[in-house]
């Protein structure tokens, strides 16, 4: 509830305007605070004071994507600034960052509310998401280093182990890392950024879909096929597999949303 808990991160040096990279790093750091996920944080012998608006944005983003701040909830500046012990100015900056990420909707004189995407918007986002991931996979087949591929294999093993332990949280983390690292292997900064953006916007529903799904069946065979295509450097096949795979994720999300949405869309 305090901003300090966010401050405890390894504090990867703020990379200029790298909002999505920062956000992706936030997910990696917070969701997988135990398992080694991706590249190690940069050297950082500096304490890296990490600008206040980014801290606040990271804090609120965490609350939103983990469903602590529910969709549709209003965010008032004055109470929050008092609670976080900061002034309204950096808080406003943080809200602007989250607005750019489309995690909050901001009406002119009516304040900010947590974004509540309709089921159609979620479907559209997932469509683009899978397309970007397919593109990334194609590029990864051309440019991925063996170390990257090995890391992706490791994520698959982590997923399997987590599934057998019925550890949904670790499963979710490994799944995230699996997909993010496939795109990261493309070495295309713009692609990684856009994919990361969508991943954040979809994070909450995907998280809830995994955590709440009744019959939780691991699509290990699909992931195995994906890995095989990656090993064979077959980009076209890999793209098709990923799109098919994500359509499965869509079904889970749609089921969740259909069940928990008696109200009219925002």
Partner DNA sequence: CCTTTGCGTATTGCATACAATAATCACAAC
Partner DNA sequence: GTTGTGATTATTGTATGCAATACGCAAAGG
- Contact positions vs DNA (CB under 7 A): 49, 51-53, 74-78, 86-90, 92-93, 106, 108-112
Question: Which distant-in-sequence residues (6+ apart) come within 8 Å of 66 by Cβ?
Answer: 204, 207
DSSP 90-113: HHHHHHHHHHHTTSEEEETTTEEE
Select the binding partner of residue 125 from its own copies, DNA, none (C-beta < 5 to 8 A, by kind).
its own copies
Select the binding partner of residue 135 from DNA, its own copies, none (C-beta < 5 to 8 A, by kind).
its own copies
Question: How near is the Cβ of 21 to DNA at its closest, in Å?
Answer: 17
Of 84, 135, 229, 252, the one binding its own copies (CB under 8 A) is 135
Of 21, 106, 169, 255, the one binding its own copies (CB under 8 A) is 106
Distance CA 265, CA 97 (A): 24
End-to-end CA, the chain? 27
Q: Which two tokens stand for residue 187?
A: 């070495």
Work out whether the CA dihedral 192, 197, 203, 205 comes out positive or negative.
Answer: negative
Work out whether the CA dihedral 154, 158, 159, 161 comes out positive or negative.
Answer: positive
Beta bridge partners, 113, equal 74, 105
Of 88 and 251, the one with the shorter C-beta distance to DNA is 88
Of 43 and 109, the one with the shorter C-beta distance to DNA is 109
Report the b/e string of 63-99 with b at 16+ CB within 10 A: bbbeeebebeeebeeeebbeebebeeebbeebbebbe
Question: How near is the Cβ of 7 to DNA at its closest, in Å?
Answer: 12
Select the binding partner of residue 190 from its own copies, DNA, none (C-beta < 5 to 8 A, by kind).
its own copies
How many residues touch its own copies under the rule CB under 8 A: the total is 36
The answer to whether 128 contacts its own copies (rule: CB under 8 A) is: yes
The answer to whether 139 contacts its own copies (rule: CB under 8 A) is: yes
The answer to whether 218 contacts its own copies (rule: CB under 8 A) is: no
Distance CA 225, CA 84 (A): 47
Residue indicated by tokens 């928990």: 260
Question: How near is the Cβ of 260 to DNA at its closest, in Å?
Answer: 25
Give the range of 12-20, 27-35, 159-167, 248-256 binding its own copies by CB under 8 A.
12-20
Of 37 and 115, the one with the shorter C-beta distance to its own copies is 115
Q: How many beta carbons lie within 10 A of that of residue 44, not counting itself? A: 12
Residues lying near its own copies in the complex (CB under 8 A): 14, 16-17, 19, 51, 89, 92-93, 96-97, 99-102, 104-108, 115, 121, 124-125, 127-128, 131-132, 135, 139, 188-191, 194, 197-198
């Amino acid at each position: 509830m305090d901003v300090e808990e966010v401050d405890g991160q390894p504090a990867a040096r703020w990379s200029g305007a790298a909002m999505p990279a920062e956000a992706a790093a936030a997910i990696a750091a917070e969701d997988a605070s135990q398992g080694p996920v991706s590249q190690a944080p940069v050297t950082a012998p500096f304490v890296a004071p990490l600008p206040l608006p980014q801290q606040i944005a990271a804090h609120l983003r965490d609350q939103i994507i983990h469903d602590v701040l529910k969709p549709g909830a209003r965010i008032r500046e004055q109470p929050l600034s008092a609670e976080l012990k900061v002034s309204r100015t950096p808080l406003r900056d943080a809200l602007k960052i989250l607005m750019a990420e489309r995690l909050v909707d901001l009406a002119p004189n009516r304040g900010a509310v947590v974004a509540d995407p309709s089921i159609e918007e979620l479907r559209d986002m997932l469509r683009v998401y899978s397309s970007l991931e397919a593109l990334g996979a194609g590029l990864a087949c051309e440019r991925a280093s063996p170390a990257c591929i090995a890391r992706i294999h490791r994520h698959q093993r982590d997923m399997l182990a987590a599934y057998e332990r019925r550890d949904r949280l670790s499963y979710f983390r490994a799944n995230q890392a699996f997909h993010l690292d496939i795109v990261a292997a493309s070495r295309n900064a713009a692609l990684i950024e856009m994919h990361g953006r969508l991943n954040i916007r979809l994070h909450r529903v995907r998280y809830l879909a995994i955590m709440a799904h009744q019959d939780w069946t691991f699509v290990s065979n699909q992931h195995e096929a994906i890995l095989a295509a990656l090993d064979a450097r077959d980009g076209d096949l890999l793209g098709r597999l990923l799109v098919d795979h994500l359509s499965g994720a869509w079904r889970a999300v749609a089921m969740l949303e259909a069940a928990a949405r008696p109200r009219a869309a925002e």
